[in-house]
């Protein structure tokens, strides 16, 4: 495993970090045993940076990481977690959150404490007025927090303004070859580099979009240039090619993914891509951008929808449809969104209440896009057909119940 130096304090950090937002799951819930085993295996192969957040898994992911590290592993790794400013209006709430996070993580210090989804200078100013940074600095002086930073999902101008607003110890941005010119952008990354701020990258595979169901033209372009590199390897190498990237977080779900990422992270050095490789990325980007309908990364910050819509699930289907250029697979959409379950999540269930939109880091017009999904994936007869299928299923189940109980 290659390491990269934190430009602020010279400490070596593993180039690959473990993103603990999406941990291995079984039947819709985190598979605690598998997740803990995978987290421990990652440490054994050299991963020493683990990123989580107060809100991930409604708090369960911090607890799980704490359990996985208990028994002597804590001091072998760096823990990064996040304070959600959108849930606090008073400093006391932040104090309670930090105490909760330390307890969940079974530790008395955090290597990195990030203000989660800091959007712009106005939000920063509100937190300054609240006394948040003064308090964080006191935590740093006491050794409870070792680095103060922020995670970011806004636009380039806000990012650059925020970089200059405070002597940050670290920042975390969404960055991948498809987002080179969106959100913080390459120039924002380079500004952080010039300011000597380490940069942690999240969404390196854009929530799986840069790996799954790629158009055949993209797979061909990759294969012709490097037959032995997978799409994930291309995406990760693009990041590690850039010297300003300190740690790349990957939300690994299996031993195979971990092994592949570690192999790449043991070889991908800054400046290792060739001009020919870079041209392949330009071609691939053109193809993908032309086919991406909704720039959803499946982060699920917009969830839960009070009316049950599975927002990222809806966008995943419409994006797959546009990427592959096929016909809408309404059966697959219906099944995946729980047509026959107690809680379906169709796009057409959206009441346009708007509660989700302010939470979306990609600033997606969710209501408008869901209307498009309903039009493309459902059509006028979809709901009546699903309702009939549900009735049939229900009566079948009841019949079976009658037969069983005689
Ligand atoms: S706008 Fe639609 S999808 Fe968003 S929270 Fe409201 S009902 Fe759910
Ligand atoms: S709609 Fe936005 S908040 Fe919701 S999953 Fe997609 S990117 Fe995340």
Q: Supply the pLDDT for residue 399.
A: 44
Q: What is the pLDDT of residue 233?
A: 97
Tell me which of 257, 291, 325 is where a domain ends. Answer: 291
Same domain, 112 and 224: yes
Ligand nearest to the CA of residue 347, numbered in listed order = 1
Answer yes or no: do 337 and 241 share one domain: no
DSSP 72: T
Q: Which two tokens stand for residue 132?
A: 């948040």
Q: Residue ranges of the alpha helices (H) in 266-377?
A: 275-291, 311-324, 330-336, 366-373
Asked whether residue 14 falls in the same domain as residue 128, the answer is yes
Contact 111, 148 (CB under 8 A): no
Across 66-88, average pLDDT: 95
Give the whole-angstrom CA distance, residue 369 versus residue 350. Answer: 11
135 and 96 fall within a common domain: yes
**pLDDT tens-digit readout, 225-267:** 999 999 999 999 999 999 999 999 999 999 999 999 999 999 9
- State if residue 353 touches ligand 1 by the CB under 6 angstroms criterion: yes
Instruction: Supply the pLDDT for residue 404.
Output: 42
Which has more confidence, 185 or 73?
73
What spacing in Å lies between the alpha carbon of 31 and ligand 2's midpoint? 23
- Label the pairing between strands 29-30 and 25-26: antiparallel
The per-residue pLDDT for 22 is 84
Token pair recorded at residue 120? 């712009």
Residues 315 and 176 in one domain: no
pLDDT for residue 273: 97
pLDDT at residue 393 in the model: 61
Residue 406 within a domain: no
Averaged pLDDT, 364-392: 88
Is the residue at 86 inside a domain? yes
pLDDT tens digits for range 322-366? 877 777 778 878 877 877 766 788 999 999 999 999 999 889 999
Residue pair 93/132 in contact (Cβ under 8 Å)? The answer is no
C-alpha 156/C-alpha 361 separation (Å) is 13
Q: How far is CA 233 from the centre of its chain?
A: 18
| pLDDT at site 401 | 40
Residue nearest to atom 2 of ligand 1 (CA): 350
Residue nearest to atom 2 of ligand 2 (CA): 360
348 and 253 share one domain: no
Residue 370 pLDDT > 80 = yes
Note whether 68 and 35 are within 8 A (CB): yes
Are 139 and 247 contained in the same domain? yes
pTM of the model: 0.81
Give mean pLDDT, residues 76-90.
Answer: 95
How far, in Å, CA of 148 to CA of 78, rounded?
13
Does the CB atom of residue 354 touch ligand 1 within 6 A? yes
- Would the pLDDT of 179 be above 80? yes
pLDDT beyond 70 at 398: no
Answer yes or no: is 296 within a domain.
Answer: no
Determine the pLDDT at residue 176. 94
Q: Specify whether 20 is located in the same domain as 129.
A: yes
How far apart are the CA of 55 and the centre of ligand 1, in A?
20
In the DSSP assignment, the letter for residue 180 is T
Q: What is the 3-state secondary structure (H, E, C) of 88-151?
A: CCCHHHHHHHHHHHHHHHCCCCECEEEECCCCCHHHHHHHHHHCHHHHHHHHHHCCCECCEEEE
Domain boundary (256, 291, 326) is at: 291
Residues in Cβ contact with 181 at an 8 Å cutoff, skipping those fewer than 6 apart: none
CATH number of domain containing 59: 3.20.20.100
pLDDT, averaged across the chain:
91
Measured in Å, residue 363 CA sits from the centre of ligand 1 at: 14
Looking at residue 400, what is its pLDDT?
44
Can you give the pLDDT at residue 394?
59
Confidence of residue 405 (pLDDT cuts 50, 70, 90): very low
- Whether the Cβ atoms of residue 251 and residue 17 lie closer than 8 Å to each other: no
Q: What percent of the chain has pLDDT over 70?
A: 96
What is the SS3 assignment for 15-32? CEEEECCCCCEECCEECH
Per-residue pLDDT at 188: 94
Do 18 and 114 belong to one domain? Answer: yes
Q: Residue 318 falls within a domain, yes or no? A: yes
On whether both 269 and 368 belong to a single domain, the answer is: no
Give the model's pLDDT for residue 262: 97
d(CA 194, CA 196): 5
CA distance 138 to 125: 18
* Ligand 1, atom nearest to 355 Cα: 5
Mean pLDDT lowest for which of 6-10, 22-26, 389-393?
389-393
As a whole number of angstroms, the distance between CA 22 and CA 60 comes to: 11
The DSSP H or E segment spanning 42 is helix 32-44
Asked whether residue 322 falls in the same domain as residue 285, the answer is no
Q: Establish if 265 belongs to a structural domain.
A: yes
Confidence of residue 374 (pLDDT cuts 50, 70, 90): very high
Identity of the highest mean pLDDT range in 183-192, 333-342, 378-387: 183-192
Q: Residue 280: CB partners within 8 Å, gap ≥ 6?
A: 221, 222, 225, 234
Ligand 2 centroid distance, CA of 298 (Å): 5
Structural domain includes residue 378: yes
Domain extent at residue 140: 3-291
- Ligand 2 pocket (Cβ < 6 Å) reads 296-302, 311-312, 315, 359-360, 362, 364, 366
pLDDT confidence of residue 343: 77
Q: How many domains does the chain have?
A: 2
* Contact indicator for 370, 321 with CB cutoff of 8 Å: no
Question: How many Cα atoms occupy the beta-carbon half-sphere of 55 within 13 Å?
Answer: 18
Closest CA to 42 of 276, 252, 327, 333: 252
* Span 256-309, pLDDT tens digits: 999 999 999 999 999 999 999 999 999 999 898 888 889 888 788 898 899 999
Residue 391, pLDDT score? 73
Any domain includes 100: yes
Query: Which one of 315, 355, 363 would you pick to mutate in the ligand 1 pocket, going by the greatest count of ligand atoms within 8 A of its CB?
Result: 355
CA-359 nearest atom, ligand 2: 3
3-state secondary structure of 164: helix
- Provide the pLDDT confidence category of residue 395 given band limits of 50, 70 and 90: low
Residues 236, 121 share a domain = yes
Q: What is the pLDDT of residues 161-173, one digit of tens each?
A: 999 999 999 999 9
Does 89 fall in a domain?
yes
pLDDT tens track for 108-146? 999 999 999 998 899 999 999 999 999 999 999 999 999
């Amino acid at each position: 495993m290659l390491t990269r130096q934190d430009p602020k304090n010279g400490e070596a950090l593993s180039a690959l970090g473990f993103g603990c937002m999406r941990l291995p799951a079984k039947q819709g819930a985190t598979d605690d045993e598998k997740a803990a085993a995978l987290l421990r295996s990652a440490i054994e192969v050299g991963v020493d940076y683990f990123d989580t957040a107060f809100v991930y898994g409604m708090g369960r992911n911090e607890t799980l990481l704490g359990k996985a590290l208990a028994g002597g592993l804590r001091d072998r790794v760096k823990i990064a977690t996040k304070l959600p400013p959108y849930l606090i209006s008073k400093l006391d709430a932040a104090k309670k959150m930090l105490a909760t996070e330390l307890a969940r993580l079974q530790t008395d210090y955090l290597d990195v404490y990030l203000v989660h989804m800091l959007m712009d200078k106005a939000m920063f100013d509100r937190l300054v007025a609240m006394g948040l940074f003064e308090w964080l600095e006191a935590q740093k002086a006491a050794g409870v927090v070792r680095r103060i930073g922020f995670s970011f999902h806004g636009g380039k101008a806000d990012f650059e303004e925020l970089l200059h607003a405070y002597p940050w110890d670290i920042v975390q941005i969404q960055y991948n070859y498809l987002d080179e010119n969106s959100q913080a952008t390459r120039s924002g990354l380079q500004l952080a580099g010039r300011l000597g701020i380490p940069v942690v990258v999240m969404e390196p595979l854009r929530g799986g979009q840069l790996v799954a169901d790629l158009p055949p033209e993209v797979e061909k372009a990759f294969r012709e240039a490097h037959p032995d590199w997978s799409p994930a390897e291309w995406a990760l190498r693009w990041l590690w090619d850039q010297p300003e990237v300190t740690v790349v977080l990957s939300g690994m779900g299996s031993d195979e993914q971990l092994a592949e990422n570690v192999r790449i992270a043991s070889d991908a050095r800054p400046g290792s891509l060739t001009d020919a490789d870079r041209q392949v990325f330009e071609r691939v980007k053109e193809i993908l951008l032309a086919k991406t309908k909704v720039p959803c990364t499946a982060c699920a910050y917009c969830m839960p929808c009070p009316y049950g819509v599975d927002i990222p699930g809806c966008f995943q289907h419409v994006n797959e449809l546009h990427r592959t250029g096929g016909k809408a697979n309404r059966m697959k959409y219906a099944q995946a969104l729980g047509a026959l379950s107690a809680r379906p999540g169709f796009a057409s269930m959206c009441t346009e209440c708007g509660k989700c939109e302010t939470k979306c880091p990609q600033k997606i017009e969710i209501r408008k896009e869901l209307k498009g999904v309903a039009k493309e994936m459902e059509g006028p007869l979809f709901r009546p057909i699903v309702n009939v299928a549900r009735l049939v299923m229900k009566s079948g189940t009841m019949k079976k119940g009658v037969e069983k109980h005689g």
